[in-house]
Amino acid sequence: MTKKLYISTYGCQMNVYDSARMADIMAPLGYSLTEEPADADMAILNTCHIREKASEKTFSELGRLRKFRSARQSRDDSDMIIAVAGCVAQAEGDEIMKRAPYVNMVFGPQSYHLLPQMVAEANRGVGRILETDFPVEPKFDHLPDTAIDTNLSAFLTVQEGCDKFCAFCVVPYTRGAEFSRPARAITDEAKRMIAGGTREITLLGQNVNAYHGADADGEPVSLARLIKDLAELDGLDRLRYTTSHPLEMTEELCQAHRDVDILMPYLHLPVQAGSDRILAAMNRRHTASDYRHIIEKLRKYRPDLALSGDFIVGFPGETDADFEATLQLVRDVGYSQAYSFKYSPRPGTPAAGLASEMVPEPVKSERLARLQALLNEQQIAYNREFVGREIDVLLEREGKRDGQLVGRSPYMQSVFVPSPAHRIGRIATVIVQEGNANSLRGELKPGSVADAA
């Protein structure tokens, strides 16, 4: 008998990857995915702790699930297992167990390979389960081989956790210490993904460029080396990696952007702020000019590299002059897209203790609006530059309109084209006709993509 599994995913790509792995692990137990929480025999909230009010949001979502469960119980006596996973579970597991006594299980990002056991225990009515240790044996060793992403464009986790301890960030506490998977496990997984139909792989890690997994002899392998090895695999057309830290942008990795043809010309390299004083207070361990030099070097090797970043405005102690330095950095670098946030304190992080230096909310809002206006302007200008040009697009899926497909350019833009659906999975040349804020529109270049399978 099939059971229904509902997974609600918040936050980063790593959580998207983890949710997919949880679904894979649950499939042999007879669970298939549903979009409808009301129908679910089991519901998992895969939470994110980075955003503001993360725990309140989790509790309100849990309240909603609890209602669905009651409705099921009064309708036909069926039950629902309610689980909280991810970074809020890791950081606030005890609190969730206390405040939401109807939750069956709470487990952190390093424990989801234990799902079959936990579900069996829940079904036996063993009691509630809290699993927030960082198991010494990495979960990757316990994931079934079938638990892989075989989408056309798919994610592959190569590294998890972070030892950087930026003063604002919870990741070192929720995802734990830096851990790199062995190189062989990654190339094997990539081969299986390609055999399953994947053509583009994005290597994932909270600090992906700190990757240093072991080879067969136990020697460390760099991310650049790993990228070169993966680029040799037959059938793989595109590689990307995210998210990186400036400190680990080694010469070798910068050069890979020149030397590895399937490494796409797009890099997400967060800088967070443009003032050295604030960068130091953030414990970023680099200056704005270090960052500028890295960008210069990358562009020397790959002149068309598209850059994306993350920014925080209103970090404790940030003055108008500090904020101006962030705007100036953005003007100097030029981003094709970026993410920007108002600083908000995360319990347990060093910056949360700087209460006396907190920037007032209206000042933060005003700075964010100005930064976003500048970033939007850059993004639109960037996309408009493509009008009239030809770019390669991996056609991934149907668009919202009939007869329309959408895919990504090498530079990570979403590109919409009129095309029959059977071309999904192909890399086509598109002549760009329109460059908008968030996407490009164009037409397939005649003859650029063969029709026969």
Provide the binding-site residues for ligand SF4, judged by CB under 6 A: 162, 164-166, 169, 171-172, 206-207, 245
Instruction: Say whether residue 206 binds ligand 5AD (CB under 6 A).
Output: no
Exposure class string for 327-346: b at 16+ Cβ within 10 A, else e: bebbeebebbbbebbbbbeb
Q: How far apart are CA 416 and CA 398, in angstroms?
A: 9
- State the burial class of residue 87 (Cβ atoms within 10 Å of its Cβ: 0-12, 13-18, 19+): buried
User: What would the x/- binding string for ligand 5AD be over residues 129 to 168, using CB under 6 A?
Assistant: ---------------------------------------x
Q: In the complex with ligand SF4, which residue's Cβ is closer, 7 or 169?
A: 169
Q: Which of 45, 294, 305, 312 binds ligand 5AD (CB under 6 A)?
A: 312
Which of ligand 5AD, ligand SF4, none lies near 277, with the C-beta cut-off 5 to 8 A by kind? Answer: none
- Provide the pairing of β-strand 81-85 with 105-107: parallel
Residue 342 CB, nearest approach to ligand 5AD (Å):
6
- The single residue listed with the structure tokens 């909230």 is 45
Q: In the complex with ligand 5AD, which residue's Cβ is closer, 89 or 312?
A: 312
User: What would the x/- binding string for ligand 5AD be over residues 99 to 128, using CB under 6 A?
Assistant: ------------------------------
User: Which two structure tokens, joined as six digits, stand for 78?
Assistant: 């069926």
Residue type, 288: A
Q: How far apart are CA 52 and CA 163, in angstroms?
A: 22
Q: Residue 95: what are its φ and ψ, rounded to 5°?
A: -60, -40
244 with 208: CB under 8 angstroms?
A: yes
**Cα–Cα distance list, 389 to 339, 419, 430, 442 (Å):** 26, 19, 8, 10
Q: In the complex with ligand SF4, which residue's Cβ is closer, 43 or 271?
A: 271
Q: Which of 97, 147, 169, 226 binds ligand 5AD (CB under 6 A)?
A: 169
Q: Which of 173, 323, 343, 382 binds ligand 5AD (CB under 6 A)?
A: 343
Helix axes 320-333, 288-301, angle to 10 degrees: 10
Which of ligand 5AD, ligand SF4, none lies near 165, with the C-beta cut-off 5 to 8 A by kind? Answer: ligand SF4
Which of ligand 5AD, ligand SF4, none lies near 207, with the C-beta cut-off 5 to 8 A by kind? Answer: ligand SF4
Binding part of the chain for ligand 5AD, among 123-131, 145-153, 285-293, 336-344 by CB under 6 A, reads: 336-344
Instruction: Say whether residue 50 binds ligand 5AD (CB under 6 A).
Output: yes
Q: How far apart are CA 132 and CA 108, in angstroms?
A: 5
Instruction: Say whether residue 310 binds ligand 5AD (CB under 6 A).
Output: yes
Q: In the complex with ligand SF4, which residue's Cβ is closer, 102 or 165?
A: 165
Q: In the complex with ligand SF4, which residue's Cβ is closer, 34 or 283?
A: 283
Residue 147 CB, nearest approach to ligand SF4 (Å):
24
Rounded (to 5) percent helix, strand, coil in the chain: 40, 20, 40
* Size of the chain in residues: 453
Helices and strands in the chain: count of H runs, count of E runs: 12, 19
Residue 310 CB, nearest approach to ligand SF4 (Å):
8
What 3-state DSSP class applies to 180? Answer: strand
Residue 346 CB, nearest approach to ligand 5AD (Å):
5
269 with 246: CB under 8 angstroms?
A: yes
- The single residue listed with the structure tokens 């270090």 is 290
Residue 119 CB, nearest approach to ligand SF4 (Å):
30
Residues in the site for ligand 5AD, rule: CB under 6 A?
50, 168-169, 270, 272, 310, 312, 341, 343-344, 346
